[in-house]
Amino acid sequence: MLVLGIESSCDETAAAVVADGERILSNVVASQVRTHEKYGGVVPELASREHLRNIPWVVNQALTQAGLHLGKIDALAVTEGPGLIGSLLVGLVYGKALALALGKPFVGVNHLQGHICAVILESQIARQAGLRADEAQFPAVALVVSGGHTSLYMVQHGSHDGSSSMSYQRLGQTRDDAAGEAFDKVAKLLGLGYPGGPIIDKLSRRGIPSAVDFGRIKMKGNPFDFSFSGLKTAVLYRVRGTPLAQEAELRRVWRKGAAERVTAEELSGHCTQATLDLVASFQNAVVTDLVERTIAAAESVGVSTVLVSGGVACNSLLRSQFAEVARGRALNVFFPSLELSTDNAAMIAAAGYHLLQAGVRADTSLTAHASFPLGV
């Protein structure tokens, strides 16, 4: 079954063709980073306009790269939510119109389910290529960690009579900022640019992660919930009214005057050791919290597979800390490639495939939802 996936929930316009939920024939992403970076975050109205401009050629490019014309597509999968409503509507309406014109089935996909399916898709690809012998076992615990979400789920994946279905139970979620949002806000505060996660990841390699002791993040109630706004405020207090704030201002001025996008190399030349130590310590605090709560959740529900996905899953310290912690336990941790960790449409097509296999079909009433919880 050839599924055309379309994703436009935030600031990437993406389309992909995936065969049988496991072979990526094309995966095209048009990033809007250049549009939003000068504002230090995504501007919803600008994002919608960019999606409108990009969607026709992104879909065409996905078909061309897959070597297919529209008539060969068996079904369409579009992101239904959560996300920016104007952005979501562009991809959803485009996909729905295509499906109706072609007379093909279509489904709405939860973006978070897409992120989880990205890990499963990648683990299948790695196994088929002989790169990894072990396979994700279900039930599994999934950490979805991005700019908009930080949630833990228990995932069940069942196959019956050739059809597969997935179900989700939410174990915990952030009570305030998502982890990626905290990375982005700290980078903005320090005049480091947008998006903050990849920049802080690179700069942190030059800082000492134990230089600033932020302490552990304490949670009352559900131990699998997250909270990063206190940590973000702790960084703010260490910067406000200090030479670090003046340094951040100088960096902002320098970055505005720079002709091209600055590299992490150039940026680090405009950072004192104190700033590098601060970002490395902040990253260490976020990553330690994500790893500890996820492992505790997996142990508490007694599963051996952990799936990590979403933009923050690109983080190099998160990957190495998970690998290290898993080594000492009977746990297998799976990450998607960097390409499939951030927003993409291959994950939407793969998730759509599972829904279609389970008999789900959308109709003309399908619409976008800014808030769209996954699981119960």
Peptide linkage before 198 cis (omega within 30 of 0): no
* 342 touching ligand KG4, by CB under 6 A: yes
Binding Zn ion by CB under 5 A: which of 36, 343, 353, 356? 343
Q: How far apart are CA 359 and CA 354, in angstroms?
A: 9
Write the CA distances from 85 to 17, 79, 330, integer angstroms.
24, 11, 42
Residue 130 Cβ, how far from ligand KG4 at the closest point, in Å?
27
Residue 179 Cβ, how far from Zn ion at the closest point, in Å?
12
Residue span binding ligand KG4 (CB under 6 A) among the ranges 23-31, 142-150, 217-225, 256-264: 142-150
Residue span binding ligand KG4 (CB under 6 A) among the ranges 97-105, 161-169, 192-200, 247-255: 192-200
Other C-beta atoms within 10 Å of 72: how many?
Answer: 12
* 198 touching ligand KG4, by CB under 6 A: yes
Q: Which is nearer to ligand KG4, 106 or 282 (CB)?
A: 282
**Contact in structure between 291 and 318 (CB atoms under 8 Å):** yes
Binding ligand KG4 by CB under 6 A: which of 86, 193, 196, 209? 196
Strand partners, 27: 16
Residue span binding ligand KG4 (CB under 6 A) among the ranges 43-51, 143-151, 300-308, 354-362: 143-151
Which secondary-structure segment (H or E) carries 52? helix 44-66
* 310 touching ligand KG4, by CB under 6 A: yes
Residue 82 Cβ, how far from ligand KG4 at the closest point, in Å?
9
Binding ligand KG4 by CB under 6 A: which of 7, 122, 177, 201? 201
Binding Zn ion by CB under 5 A: which of 13, 146, 284, 315? 146
Strand partners, 296: none
Q: How far apart are CA 350 and CA 154, in angstroms?
A: 19
Comparing CA positions, the residue from 177, 198, 200 lying closest to residue 190 is: 200
C-alpha angle 196-334-204 in degrees, rounded to nearest 5: 30
What residue type is 279 in one-letter code?
Answer: V
Q: Which is nearer to Zn ion, 177 or 343 (CB)?
A: 343
* 80 touching Zn ion, by CB under 5 A: no
Q: How far apart are CA 56 and CA 299, in angstroms?
A: 46
Binding mask 145-174 for ligand KG4 (x = CB under 6 A): -xxx--------------------------
Rounding to the nearest 10 degrees, give the CA dihedral for residues 97, 99, 100, 106: -110
Interaction site with ligand KG4 (CB under 6 A): 10, 146-148, 180, 183-184, 195-198, 201, 310-312, 314-315, 342-343
